[in-house]
Protein backbone atom coordinates (compact mmCIF):
# COMPACT_ATOMS: atom_id res chain seq x y z
CA UNK A 1 0.00 0.00 0.00
CA UNK A 2 2.94 2.20 0.68
CA UNK A 3 4.12 1.55 -2.85
CA UNK A 4 0.67 2.33 -4.23
CA UNK A 5 0.53 5.65 -2.39
CA UNK A 6 3.87 6.76 -3.75
CA UNK A 7 2.83 5.85 -7.26
CA UNK A 8 -0.53 7.55 -6.85
CA UNK A 9 1.17 10.73 -5.72
CA UNK A 10 3.60 10.68 -8.61
CA UNK A 11 0.95 10.13 -11.29
CA UNK A 12 -1.38 12.71 -9.78
CA UNK A 13 1.25 15.42 -9.56
CA UNK A 14 2.42 14.71 -13.09
CA UNK A 15 -1.12 14.92 -14.47
CA UNK A 16 -1.87 18.10 -12.54
CA UNK A 17 1.22 19.87 -13.76
CA UNK A 18 0.36 18.97 -17.35
CA UNK A 19 -3.02 20.68 -17.14
CA UNK A 20 -3.57 24.15 -18.51
CA UNK A 21 -7.27 24.61 -17.90
CA UNK A 22 -9.05 25.35 -14.67
CA UNK A 23 -11.91 23.00 -15.50
CA UNK A 24 -9.58 20.06 -16.08
CA UNK A 25 -7.73 20.93 -12.89
CA UNK A 26 -10.97 20.79 -10.93
CA UNK A 27 -11.72 17.36 -12.42
CA UNK A 28 -8.31 16.14 -11.27
CA UNK A 29 -8.91 17.52 -7.80
CA UNK A 30 -12.11 15.51 -7.56
CA UNK A 31 -10.39 12.49 -9.02
CA UNK A 32 -7.45 12.51 -6.61
CA UNK A 33 -8.79 14.21 -3.47
CA UNK A 34 -12.57 13.85 -3.75
CA UNK A 35 -14.74 11.77 -1.49
CA UNK A 36 -14.68 8.82 -3.82
CA UNK A 37 -10.94 9.05 -4.56
CA UNK A 38 -8.57 6.22 -3.87
CA UNK A 39 -6.61 8.40 -1.43
CA UNK A 40 -9.72 9.10 0.67
CA UNK A 41 -10.53 5.48 0.49
CA UNK A 42 -7.14 4.52 1.90
CA UNK A 43 -7.35 7.18 4.56
CA UNK A 44 -10.71 6.05 5.83
CA UNK A 45 -9.56 2.45 5.97
CA UNK A 46 -6.48 3.28 8.08
CA UNK A 47 -8.31 2.22 11.24
CA UNK A 48 -8.62 -1.34 9.94
CA UNK A 49 -4.91 -1.74 9.33
CA UNK A 50 -2.54 -3.63 11.60
CA UNK A 51 -1.13 -1.25 14.22
CA UNK A 52 2.44 -1.60 13.06
CA UNK A 53 1.53 -0.43 9.55
CA UNK A 54 -0.87 2.30 10.49
CA UNK A 55 1.57 5.16 11.23
CA UNK A 56 3.65 4.58 8.10
CA UNK A 57 0.68 4.36 5.76
CA UNK A 58 -1.01 7.23 7.52
CA UNK A 59 2.03 9.42 7.11
CA UNK A 60 2.48 8.47 3.45
CA UNK A 61 -1.20 9.19 2.76
CA UNK A 62 -0.90 12.58 4.46
CA UNK A 63 2.15 13.42 2.43
CA UNK A 64 0.50 12.34 -0.81
CA UNK A 65 -2.48 14.53 0.01
CA UNK A 66 -0.29 17.49 0.74
CA UNK A 67 1.78 17.04 -2.43
CA UNK A 68 -1.35 16.84 -4.57
CA UNK A 69 -2.88 19.93 -2.92
CA UNK A 70 0.31 21.90 -3.42
CA UNK A 71 0.53 20.88 -7.06
CA UNK A 72 -3.10 21.90 -7.63
CA UNK A 73 -2.59 25.29 -5.96
CA UNK A 74 0.55 26.13 -7.86
CA UNK A 75 -0.88 24.97 -11.17
CA UNK A 76 -4.02 27.01 -10.52
CA UNK A 77 -2.11 30.22 -9.99
CA UNK A 78 0.00 29.53 -13.05
CA UNK A 79 -3.11 29.06 -15.21
CA UNK A 80 -4.70 32.22 -13.77
CA UNK A 81 -1.59 34.27 -14.43
CA UNK A 82 -1.37 33.16 -18.03
CA UNK A 83 -5.04 33.91 -18.56
CA UNK A 84 -4.64 37.36 -17.04
CA UNK A 85 -1.60 38.30 -19.04
CA UNK A 86 -3.22 37.15 -22.25
CA UNK A 87 -6.30 39.21 -21.41
CA UNK A 88 -4.02 42.31 -21.46
CA UNK A 89 -3.71 42.01 -25.20
CA UNK A 90 -6.56 44.24 -26.34
CA UNK A 91 -6.54 43.95 -30.09
CA UNK A 92 -8.88 46.94 -30.43
CA UNK A 93 -6.30 49.34 -29.00
CA UNK A 94 -4.55 51.58 -31.53
CA UNK A 95 -1.04 50.50 -32.43
CA UNK A 96 2.02 52.25 -31.10
CA UNK A 97 2.42 55.50 -32.98
CA UNK A 98 5.97 55.90 -34.22
CA UNK A 99 7.73 59.00 -32.95
CA UNK A 100 7.52 61.20 -36.01
CA UNK A 101 9.27 64.52 -36.21
CA UNK A 102 7.31 67.72 -36.80
CA UNK A 103 8.37 70.58 -39.05
CA UNK A 104 9.55 73.67 -37.22
CA UNK A 105 6.96 76.48 -37.56
CA UNK A 106 9.31 78.51 -39.76
CA UNK A 107 9.91 75.51 -42.01
CA UNK A 108 6.17 74.93 -42.14
CA UNK A 109 5.64 78.54 -43.19
CA UNK A 110 8.43 78.20 -45.77
CA UNK A 111 6.72 75.18 -47.31
CA UNK A 112 3.49 77.12 -47.49
CA UNK A 113 5.09 80.16 -49.13
CA UNK A 114 6.98 77.96 -51.56
CA UNK A 115 3.69 76.32 -52.53
CA UNK A 116 2.03 79.69 -53.07
CA UNK A 117 4.83 80.98 -55.29
CA UNK A 118 5.30 77.74 -57.19
CA UNK A 119 1.63 78.10 -58.08
CA UNK A 120 2.54 81.42 -59.71
CA UNK A 121 5.48 79.98 -61.64
CA UNK A 122 8.32 80.94 -59.28
CA UNK A 123 11.35 78.70 -58.78
CA UNK A 124 13.06 78.13 -55.44
CA UNK A 125 16.76 79.01 -55.11
CA UNK A 126 19.26 78.87 -52.30
CA UNK A 127 22.16 81.16 -51.53
CA UNK A 128 25.00 80.98 -49.02
CA UNK A 129 24.67 82.37 -45.48
CA UNK A 130 28.30 83.47 -45.47
CA UNK A 131 28.65 86.14 -48.08
CA UNK A 132 31.06 88.71 -49.37
CA UNK A 133 30.48 92.43 -49.13
CA UNK A 134 29.98 92.67 -52.84
CA UNK A 135 26.91 90.42 -52.97
CA UNK A 136 25.46 91.68 -49.71
CA UNK A 137 25.94 95.39 -50.40
CA UNK A 138 27.81 96.75 -53.44
CA UNK A 139 25.99 94.81 -56.14
CA UNK A 140 22.75 95.84 -54.45
CA UNK A 141 23.62 99.48 -55.03
CA UNK A 142 24.80 99.97 -51.45
CA UNK A 143 28.43 101.17 -51.65
CA UNK A 144 30.71 101.36 -48.64
CA UNK A 145 29.80 104.85 -47.46
CA UNK A 146 26.04 104.39 -47.96
CA UNK A 147 24.01 105.15 -44.82
CA UNK A 148 21.74 102.17 -45.56
CA UNK A 149 24.62 99.96 -44.41
CA UNK A 150 24.18 101.24 -40.85
CA UNK A 151 20.93 99.29 -40.52
CA UNK A 152 22.66 96.16 -41.69
CA UNK A 153 25.54 95.84 -39.26
CA UNK A 154 26.49 92.19 -39.06
CA UNK A 155 29.13 89.62 -38.15
CA UNK A 156 32.35 89.95 -40.12
CA UNK A 157 34.40 86.78 -40.44
CA UNK A 158 38.11 86.70 -39.65
CA UNK A 159 38.80 84.90 -42.89
CA UNK A 160 37.01 87.68 -44.77
CA UNK A 161 33.38 87.88 -45.71
CA UNK A 162 30.34 88.31 -43.50
CA UNK A 163 27.08 86.71 -42.49
CA UNK A 164 24.44 87.92 -44.91
CA UNK A 165 22.03 90.54 -43.58
CA UNK A 166 19.25 89.73 -46.03
CA UNK A 167 18.29 87.25 -48.75
CA UNK A 168 18.59 89.96 -51.43
CA UNK A 169 22.06 88.51 -52.07
CA UNK A 170 20.41 85.60 -53.86
CA UNK A 171 18.97 88.00 -56.46
CA UNK A 172 22.52 88.91 -57.46
CA UNK A 173 23.85 85.35 -57.39
CA UNK A 174 21.04 84.15 -59.62
CA UNK A 175 21.16 87.03 -62.11
CA UNK A 176 24.92 86.62 -62.45
CA UNK A 177 24.30 83.12 -63.71
CA UNK A 178 21.08 83.40 -65.66
CA UNK A 179 19.40 85.49 -68.28
CA UNK A 180 15.78 86.66 -67.93
CA UNK A 181 13.01 85.72 -67.70
CA UNK A 182 13.48 85.10 -63.99
CA UNK A 183 10.86 84.23 -61.42
CA UNK A 184 12.54 83.13 -58.25
CA UNK A 185 12.04 82.97 -54.51
CA UNK A 186 14.63 82.17 -51.90
CA UNK A 187 14.20 81.39 -48.22
CA UNK A 188 16.83 81.29 -45.57
CA UNK A 189 18.62 82.51 -42.50
CA UNK A 190 20.04 86.02 -42.18
CA UNK A 191 22.03 87.75 -39.46
CA UNK A 192 22.39 91.21 -38.02
CA UNK A 193 24.02 92.79 -35.03
CA UNK A 194 20.98 92.93 -32.77
CA UNK A 195 20.50 92.80 -29.05
CA UNK A 196 18.27 89.81 -28.46
CA UNK A 197 14.85 90.39 -26.90
CA UNK A 198 11.27 89.20 -27.43
CA UNK A 199 11.06 90.87 -30.85
CA UNK A 200 14.68 91.00 -32.04
CA UNK A 201 17.24 88.32 -32.78
CA UNK A 202 20.68 88.29 -34.39
CA UNK A 203 19.56 85.33 -36.50
CA UNK A 204 16.28 85.45 -38.39
CA UNK A 205 14.71 84.25 -41.62
CA UNK A 206 13.64 85.99 -44.79
CA UNK A 207 11.97 85.21 -48.05
CA UNK A 208 13.11 87.01 -51.16
CA UNK A 209 11.27 87.26 -54.45
CA UNK A 210 12.49 88.44 -57.85
CA UNK A 211 10.69 88.75 -61.16
CA UNK A 212 12.57 90.01 -64.23
CA UNK A 213 11.27 90.10 -67.79
CA UNK A 214 10.27 92.55 -70.51
CA UNK A 215 7.64 95.03 -69.35
CA UNK A 216 7.27 93.89 -65.76
CA UNK A 217 5.29 96.62 -64.02
CA UNK A 218 4.47 97.87 -60.56
CA UNK A 219 0.97 96.47 -61.11
CA UNK A 220 2.51 93.00 -61.44
CA UNK A 221 4.24 93.51 -58.11
CA UNK A 222 1.02 94.58 -56.46
CA UNK A 223 -0.96 91.68 -57.93
CA UNK A 224 1.66 89.15 -56.83
CA UNK A 225 1.83 90.48 -53.29
CA UNK A 226 -1.95 90.57 -53.08
CA UNK A 227 -2.20 86.96 -54.27
CA UNK A 228 0.30 85.92 -51.62
CA UNK A 229 -1.53 87.82 -48.87
CA UNK A 230 -4.87 86.25 -49.72
CA UNK A 231 -3.51 82.72 -49.76
CA UNK A 232 -1.54 83.26 -46.60
CA UNK A 233 -3.98 85.17 -44.39
CA UNK A 234 -7.37 84.67 -46.06
CA UNK A 235 -9.26 85.81 -49.17
CA UNK A 236 -10.37 89.11 -47.65
CA UNK A 237 -6.81 90.27 -47.03
CA UNK A 238 -6.04 93.74 -48.39
CA UNK A 239 -2.64 95.15 -49.25
CA UNK A 240 -1.44 98.65 -48.55
CA UNK A 241 1.72 100.10 -50.09
CA UNK A 242 3.62 102.92 -48.37
CA UNK A 243 6.47 104.64 -50.12
CA UNK A 244 9.87 103.87 -48.66
CA UNK A 245 13.54 103.73 -49.56
CA UNK A 246 15.75 100.78 -50.43
CA UNK A 247 19.01 101.23 -52.37
CA UNK A 248 18.26 98.30 -54.68
CA UNK A 249 14.73 99.30 -55.76
CA UNK A 250 13.24 102.41 -57.31
CA UNK A 251 10.52 103.20 -56.53
CA UNK A 252 10.51 101.34 -53.21
CA UNK A 253 7.66 100.53 -50.88
CA UNK A 254 6.88 98.86 -47.65
CA UNK A 255 3.67 96.88 -47.73
CA UNK A 256 1.16 95.96 -45.07
CA UNK A 257 -1.58 93.34 -44.97
CA UNK A 258 -4.94 94.12 -43.39
CA UNK A 259 -5.15 92.60 -39.91
CA UNK A 260 -6.18 88.96 -40.12
CA UNK A 261 -7.27 88.92 -36.48
CA UNK A 262 -9.54 91.96 -35.98
CA UNK A 263 -9.92 93.15 -39.61
CA UNK A 264 -9.47 96.69 -38.35
CA UNK A 265 -12.36 96.39 -35.91
CA UNK A 266 -10.51 96.43 -32.61
CA UNK A 267 -8.67 99.36 -31.08
CA UNK A 268 -6.91 96.97 -28.70
CA UNK A 269 -5.94 94.28 -31.21
CA UNK A 270 -2.70 92.66 -30.04
CA UNK A 271 -1.55 92.03 -33.60
CA UNK A 272 -2.20 95.32 -35.42
CA UNK A 273 -2.25 97.47 -32.26
CA UNK A 274 -5.52 98.99 -33.40
CA UNK A 275 -4.20 100.27 -36.73
CA UNK A 276 -5.91 97.57 -38.83
CA UNK A 277 -2.67 96.90 -40.69
CA UNK A 278 0.28 94.55 -40.20
CA UNK A 279 3.66 95.61 -41.55
CA UNK A 280 4.94 92.79 -43.67
CA UNK A 281 7.89 93.59 -45.89
CA UNK A 282 9.79 95.74 -48.37
CA UNK A 283 9.51 95.70 -52.13
CA UNK A 284 9.98 97.74 -55.25
CA UNK A 285 11.03 97.87 -58.89
CA UNK A 286 14.58 96.62 -59.36
CA UNK A 287 16.93 99.62 -59.56
CA UNK A 288 18.67 99.93 -62.98
CA UNK A 289 22.00 100.09 -61.12
CA UNK A 290 21.41 96.54 -59.87
CA UNK A 291 20.75 95.31 -63.41
CA UNK A 292 23.96 96.96 -64.51
CA UNK A 293 25.98 95.22 -61.82
CA UNK A 294 24.85 91.81 -63.14
CA UNK A 295 25.18 92.79 -66.80
CA UNK A 296 21.47 93.07 -67.67
CA UNK A 297 20.39 95.91 -69.97
CA UNK A 298 18.04 98.12 -67.92
CA UNK A 299 16.55 99.51 -71.15
CA UNK A 300 15.48 96.02 -72.14
CA UNK A 301 14.34 94.54 -68.84
CA UNK A 302 12.34 95.61 -65.82
CA UNK A 303 11.60 93.69 -62.69
CA UNK A 304 10.23 93.74 -59.20
CA UNK A 305 11.66 92.36 -55.98
CA UNK A 306 10.46 91.91 -52.43
CA UNK A 307 11.89 90.66 -49.18
CA UNK A 308 10.10 89.78 -45.99
CA UNK A 309 10.83 88.41 -42.56
CA UNK A 310 9.30 85.05 -41.74
CA UNK A 311 9.28 85.28 -37.96
CA UNK A 312 6.67 88.03 -37.78
CA UNK A 313 4.28 86.16 -40.02
CA UNK A 314 4.81 82.90 -38.13
CA UNK A 315 4.22 84.74 -34.85
CA UNK A 316 0.93 86.16 -36.11
CA UNK A 317 -0.08 82.91 -37.67
CA UNK A 318 0.64 80.60 -34.74
CA UNK A 319 0.17 83.05 -31.85
CA UNK A 320 3.84 83.01 -30.79
CA UNK A 321 4.80 85.94 -28.60
CA UNK A 322 8.58 85.67 -28.33
CA UNK A 323 10.94 85.49 -31.28
CA UNK A 324 13.62 83.75 -29.20
CA UNK A 325 11.49 80.59 -29.05
CA UNK A 326 12.19 79.87 -32.71
CA UNK A 327 15.86 79.18 -32.11
CA UNK A 328 15.92 77.64 -28.64
CA UNK A 329 15.36 74.08 -29.87
CA UNK A 330 13.00 73.41 -27.00
CA UNK A 331 10.96 70.32 -27.85
CA UNK A 332 8.07 71.57 -25.73
CA UNK A 333 7.76 74.44 -28.21
CA UNK A 334 8.26 72.44 -31.40
CA UNK A 335 5.87 69.66 -30.37
CA UNK A 336 3.00 72.13 -30.23
CA UNK A 337 3.14 72.32 -34.01
CA UNK A 338 3.05 68.60 -34.71
CA UNK A 339 -0.72 68.46 -35.17
CA UNK A 340 -1.16 71.56 -37.26
CA UNK A 341 -2.14 71.16 -40.87
Phi, psi of 234 (to 5 degrees): 115, 150
Measured from the CB atom, the residue of 29 and 205 that comes closer to ligand DAH is 205
Asked if 188 is part of the footprint of ligand DAH (rule: CB under 6 A), the reply reads no
Q: How many residues bind ligand DAH (CB under 6 A)?
A: 11
Q: Which residues does 242 contact at the CB level (< 8 Å), separation at least 6?
A: 253, 254, 255, 256
**Cα separation, 149 vs 135, whole angstroms:** 13
Measured from the CB atom, the residue of 39 and 280 that comes closer to ligand DAH is 280
Among 105, 229, 284, 303, binds ligand DAH (CB under 6 A): 284
Please provide the DSSP assignment of 83-116 as one string.
HHHHHT--TTSPPPPP------HHHHHHHHHHHH
- Give the residue from 305, 282, 249 showing the smallest Cα distance to 122: 305
- Cβ neighbours around 181 below 10 Å, total: 13
Name the β-bridge partners of 256: 240, 279
Q: Which helix (H) or strand (E) holds 331?
A: helix 331-334
105 contacts 318 by C-beta, under 8 angstroms: yes
Please provide the DSSP assignment of 187-235 as one string.
EEEEE-----BTTB-SEEEEEEEEEEETT--HHHHHHHHHHHHHHHH-T
Among 117, 137, 301, 306, binds ligand DAH (CB under 6 A): 306
* Interface of this chain with ligand DAH, residues 113 to 172, rule: CB under 6 A: 166, 168
- Cβ neighbours around 65 below 10 Å, total: 20
- Could you tell me the smallest distance in angstroms from the CB atom of residue 152 to ligand DAH? 7
With CB under 6 A as the contact rule, which of the stretches 52-60, 105-113, 301-309, 319-327 interacts with ligand DAH? 301-309
Task: Print the SS3 string covering 45-80.
Answer: CHHHCCCCCHHHHHHHHHHHHHHHHHHHHHHHHHHH
Measured from the CB atom, the residue of 32 and 246 that comes closer to ligand DAH is 246
Measured from the CB atom, the residue of 166 and 183 that comes closer to ligand DAH is 166
Q: Which residue is nearest to ligand DAH (CB)?
A: 307
* Interface of this chain with ligand DAH, residues 311 to 340, rule: CB under 6 A: none
Name the β-bridge partners of 249: 246, 286
* Interface of this chain with ligand DAH, residues 209 to 268, rule: CB under 6 A: 246, 249
Among 307, 314, 323, 325, binds ligand DAH (CB under 6 A): 307
Measured from the CB atom, the residue of 225 and 233 that comes closer to ligand DAH is 225
Asked if 208 is part of the footprint of ligand DAH (rule: CB under 6 A), the reply reads yes
DSSP classification of residue 129: S
Asked if 305 is part of the footprint of ligand DAH (rule: CB under 6 A), the reply reads yes
Among 5, 283, 315, 325, binds ligand DAH (CB under 6 A): 283
Cα-only R_g, the chain: 41
Measured from the CB atom, the residue of 65 and 252 that comes closer to ligand DAH is 252
- Could you tell me the smallest distance in angstroms from the CB atom of residue 192 to ligand DAH? 9
With CB under 6 A as the contact rule, which of the stretches 80-88, 93-101, 176-184, 280-288 interacts with ligand DAH? 280-288
- Could you tell me the smallest distance in angstroms from the CB atom of residue 238 to ligand DAH? 20
- Could you tell me the smallest distance in angstroms from the CB atom of residue 324 to ligand DAH? 20
Binding footprint of ligand DAH on the chain (CB under 6 A): 166, 168, 208, 246, 249, 282-284, 305-307
Amino acid sequence: MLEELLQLQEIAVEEILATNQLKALEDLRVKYLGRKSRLRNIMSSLGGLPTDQRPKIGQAAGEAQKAIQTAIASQMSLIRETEESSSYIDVTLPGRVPDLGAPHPLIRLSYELTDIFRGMGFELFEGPETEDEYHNFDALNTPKDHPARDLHDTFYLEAGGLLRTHTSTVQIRLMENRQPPIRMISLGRCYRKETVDATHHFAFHQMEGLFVDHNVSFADLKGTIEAMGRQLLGPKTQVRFRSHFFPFTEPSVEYDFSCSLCHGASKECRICKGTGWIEIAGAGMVDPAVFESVGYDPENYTGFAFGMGLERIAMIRYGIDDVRLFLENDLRFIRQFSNLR
